[in-house]
Structure 1
């Protein structure tokens, strides 16, 4: 069986099983939190704290799992991560309490390691299928996120806690797929830098805490300012420790790679709106329309259908990206994706008073999401040596997470400053938020123009990632 899935379509199909589990886990729980919170006695503040806890876990586990994979083997760490997700999913479903939800969501956050670790295996075992494989995996991820949320919402319509079982059936096949995958052949080296890991975890935790709680604390409040200052001090200390270490957790020289820097900056800018806007999207769709036509007043199932249509557009964007890169080049693909995201948000600024009007902009944003996720994940694999593949993809995942978190924080701040006495968001609040997302997406398109192929290197064929390509 291992020989049958060691390369090509069999390898990619096995990886899809793991990615589908990741997507369902990422998509099913968020729409259930209000219903589950009421059932187990977790109020709005508690639900927000659960979200905060998961975001901190995402930020901390991304570099750790990526680095451990490059050091100790991508398949070994992938299996550990999948088992963590499976245990967390079963724990949440079987005994939902505040404590088990907290522990379960932290364990489920190990999904952040799936893509970097899968990229390491794919590059070493089947480099000629790198680009098409990555686009298929991104498409499967997007579809399963939307489908997971829709299925969970439908199950919970029948029974409040039934939706908590949505992810469990996908965990067993994912564990089996992780066992069946071949190990990567990338060289392993280095020792784990514990002080650097602790400093990075503390710094990222403080930063994510400030971003997720800043709107409720007040951005100019002592709590926000002190938390941001602490994050900066700890992260600066981490940089100095890494620079002096013979075995750094993250080779900071990698961050000076101009191609990886451009790809990660582009990822940050597009994720700012495309991912950071998802919560705002649900709020607008679910808000009862006012006298100015703001809000669409949709129910939970209709909201999930709009979200599902966006991920279908994302799937199309992802699957067409390799061919588009062959036709017009990587730099143009990044620029087109950024411009598409900006066009989608500008469409929302102008046309948002009905579901068909709103859906036009939302679908374009979904298309842009699929394009940037497929393109940047493929490029982050190719711009470094094979031994650093998982860590490079992990750096790009960090850029995505930070971009989404900062985007959501900026949208929240803009909404907070444009509300009525009754707490409703005004038209200006929505317009400023959509406009900010459009502006940052355009900045991402502009950054992509700095991307260059090394001199003498030709444009890769669609579906091909060249083994051993270096920056």
Structure 2
């Protein structure tokens, strides 16, 4: 009887997702949760931080912690999905996000915010796991499907922030409930999605996972705290040396492993390497600056000498405008790529990010000027997130799609984490010595400059993307695995 019911359930699911549209709809619900989680805390942190006794640097460090969790969880969830099934790990990731969201909403405190934001970091597994399912079950919808999901992600970031801002107008903690109902819907959507139609199996490299975790945490920590510790202090130098040594050891282990956690050998494909490098540079500013953006918008000009003095709802409205611009960029990406080429779209995205941050340096005295610059960054965010996720799935064989997308998500998470860490370090180095310890406006100017410079570097790297260059036999052999069990 159980077997018969299972067969009927599978048949019904197959009929529902036969043309791929139903499957994309369910995936969009899951991605909406990712967007809400990434967007709803941004407008809440300034006021919520004040209630809980968390200053500006502390708020940025909370955001930094979540980005560190993103970087660590991306390869873990992607690889475990390759081993034990994409749908199964998607459900695990959903469970982590639901738990973290409930924890923060039910009992908000410094501790629960810290733990909850780490658990919510599991949203980084959504894209690579869903990409594995999408390209397996509906490969003909790969490019348009990724563009749709990126658009849903960006819109939900803004809508989630706006809803949280509205809920928090009377009571800041009320905004923390914005993610809970969406999480319930996402769990339901995850339950009805089909699994990939490929064989799973292999071995999880615990040693590589431990090395990667320690190396990333040490790297982000020294970048975030180096200014406060002193860049030449024993603590900073020791932590930095630990990060370098451990990450070098991780790369060495991964190159020799029969079952790598992250196949660094895949980066021998120049196209994938360029896409990953561009993703890192673009995410450095567009995502790494999100928490600091809310701080600037919420700062009281009469008290600290800069800022727009906006409340949670107004901050969320600005964020929504940015993601609407991002949605326009994402949905336009397939058409732009067909007309001008993938390489041009990659380079243009980085250039627009740099232009937007340069605009913030020059025009941050009035809200309209600042918002125009922020909209340019938002538009570019949609372009880069869509084109890089699309290309990372297309430049590798089908069996490697999930791992390649996971590698790109790792580059995105690392870029965002290191960007937030650098910005936190710049903030710590430009604090006033008064009792309030307010961040000086120079801290924001240096941060905008760093984001612009790294983005322009990414734009230059994009010019090396050979969209029409075939992969040589030697390069193909370098990234090909001997068993389908090793890589997705």
The TM-score normalised by the length of structure 1 is 0.90
Alignment deviations for residues 118-144 of structure 1 (CA, whole Å, 9 cap, x no partner): 111111111111111111111111111
- For the residues of structure 2 that align with 1:67 and 1:173, how far apart are their CA atoms? 26
Residues 1:433 and 1:90: Cα distance change in structure 2 (over 3 Å):
closer
From 55, 65, 83, the counterpart of 2:67:
55
Equivalent residue runs for 1:14-413 within 5 Å: 14-33=26-45, 35-36=47-48, 50-289=62-301, 294-413=306-425
Matched, 1:443 2:425: no
Deviations 1:14-48 (A, max 9, x none): 11100001111122234434554565676777756
SS at structure 2 position matched to 1:167: helix
Gaps of at least 5 residues in structure 1 are: 458-469
**Is residue 116–residue 393 contact of structure 1 (8 Å, CA) maintained in 2?**
yes
Which residue of 1 is the match for residue 466 of structure 2? 452
Q: Distance in 2 between matches of 1:56 and 1:238?
A: 17
Q: Deviations over 1:322-354 (max 9, x none)?
A: 111111110011011111112212222322221
Q: Deviations over 1:175-216 (max 9, x none)?
A: 111111111123434211111111112112222222333333
Cα separation, partners in 2 of 1:36 and 1:328, compared to 1, 3 Å = same
Deviations 1:39-68 (A, max 9, x none): 567677775664454333222211000011
Kept after mapping to 1: 8 A contact 2:221/2:421: no
Instruction: Give the direction of change, closer, same or farther, for the CA distance of 1:415–1:100 in structure 2 (3 Å limit).
Output: closer
* Alpha-carbon spacing, 1:292–1:134, altered in 2? closer, same or farther (3 Å): same
Q: 1:48, 1:332 → 2: CA distance?
A: 34
- 3-state DSSP class of the match of 1:207? helix
Residues 236 and 111 (structure 1), Cα distance of their counterparts in 2 relative to 1, 3 Å cut: same
- Contact 1:146-1:308 within 8 A present in 2 as well: yes
State the Cα RMSD in Å. 2.7
CA distance in 2, matches of 1:109, 1:333: 29
Which deviates further from its counterpart, 433-442 or 109-118? 433-442
CA distance in 1, matches of 2:97, 2:424: 30
Aligned to 2:446: 432
Judged with a 3 Å threshold, the aligned counterparts in structure 2 of structure 1 residues 48 and 73 are, in CA distance, closer, same or farther, namely same
Question: Partners of 1:435 and 1:45 in 2: how far apart?
Answer: 19
Residues of 2 paired with 1:335 and 1:48: CA distance? 29
Q: Tell me the secondary structure at the aligned position of residue 44 of structure 2.
A: helix
Alpha-carbon contact 1:55-1:208 (below 8 Å) kept:
no
Q: State the 1:426 CA deviation.
A: 5.1
CA contact (8 A) 1:40 1:98 kept: yes
CA contact (8 A) 1:63 1:395 kept: yes
Say if 2:354 and 2:452, in contact at 8 Å, map to a contact too: yes
Is the Cα–Cα contact under 8 Å of residues 259 and 452 in structure 1 kept in the other structure?
Answer: yes
Label 1:413 to 1:193 Cα distance change in 2 as closer, same or farther (>3 A).
closer
Task: Name the CA distance, whole Å, in 1 between partners of 2:405 and 2:457.
Answer: 22
Q: How far apart, CA to CA, are the structure 1 residues paired with 2:363 and 2:317?
A: 19
Q: Distance in 2 between matches of 1:291 and 1:164?
A: 28
Deviation digits for residues 198-249 of structure 1 (CA, Å, limit 9, x no counterpart): 1112112222222333333333332222111111111122222222322221
1:28 to 1:427, Cα distance in 2 relative to 1, 3 A:
closer
Alpha-carbon distance in structure 2 between the residues aligned to 1:18 and 1:211:
32
Q: Distance in 1 between matches of 2:286 and 2:375?
A: 11
Rounded Cα–Cα distance in structure 1 between residues aligned with 2:439 and 2:118: 32
The 10-residue stretch of structure 1 (234-243 or 363-372) with the greater mean CA deviation from structure 2:
234-243
Change in CA separation of 1:351 and 1:93 when aligned onto 2, cut-off 3 Å: closer
SS state at 2:260 partner? coil
Query: Secondary structure at 2:259's aligned position in 1?
Result: coil
Q: After the TM superposition, which of the residue ranges 323-332 and 446-455 deviates more from structure 2?
A: 446-455
Gaps of 5+ in 2: 1-11, 472-486
Cα distance in 2, alignment partners of residues 209 and 292 from structure 1: 27
